[in-house]
Amino acid sequence: MASDISRNAQRIGRYRKQSINLLQGALQQIKQGHWTRSEDLLWGSLTQAVKGVALSRGEQLTNDEEIREYASRLGHEHRDRRLREAFTQLSNFGESVERLREARSRVDRIIPMLEDVSSAIERLWEMVPVAEPAIEPAEAERAVGQDAE
């Protein structure tokens, strides 16, 4: 049981790290004007965040449909439109960028969409309790022994 909890905590930590790295990468790609790459990175970041929340609640999601449904359910549960609509907004992202390019409109019109998706990712990670670093038994004994000295 304890090893399952530890293993899940490690997986959640990996999901968190990957999600944050992907989000940062997406924002960097946006600054460089690489919209298609940023969209892919945002998808990955959002997916990892949803999987992290699910795992922290003892649930495992195995496919894209389950991940989307879970995000929508979280959005309803927390009454948060950003969570409910994050995947829908990303689905429309590429199309929106193309329309803006064709119309030669300013790309800043999609900034609210990006802010919603980014804040949804941040909100998801706020739902996951941060585990305290585990102290190995040998380290705990040394620490106790040092206190006695």
Is-contact 22 96, C-beta < 8 A? no
Average pLDDT of the chain, as a whole number: 83
What pTM, to 2 d.p., does this model score? Answer: 0.80
Q: Which positions ≥6 away from 54 have C-beta within 8 Å?
A: 60, 61, 67, 70
Confidence band, pLDDT 50/70/90 cuts, at residue 104: low
The pLDDT tens digits for 52-70 are 999 999 999 999 999 999 9
C-alpha span between 46 and 29 (Å, rounded)? 16
Q: Supply the CATH number for residue 19's domain.
A: 1.20.120
Q: Which pLDDT belongs to residue 1?
A: 59
Q: With a cut of 60, say whether residue 89 has pLDDT above it.
A: yes
What's the structural domain count of the chain? 1
Domain that residue 112 falls in? 2-148
Q: Identify which has the larger pLDDT, 98 or 7.
A: 7
Q: Which pLDDT belongs to residue 94?
A: 78
Interval 113-140 mean pLDDT? 76
Q: Which pLDDT belongs to residue 34?
A: 83
The pLDDT tens digits for 6-34 are 899 999 999 999 999 999 999 998 888 78
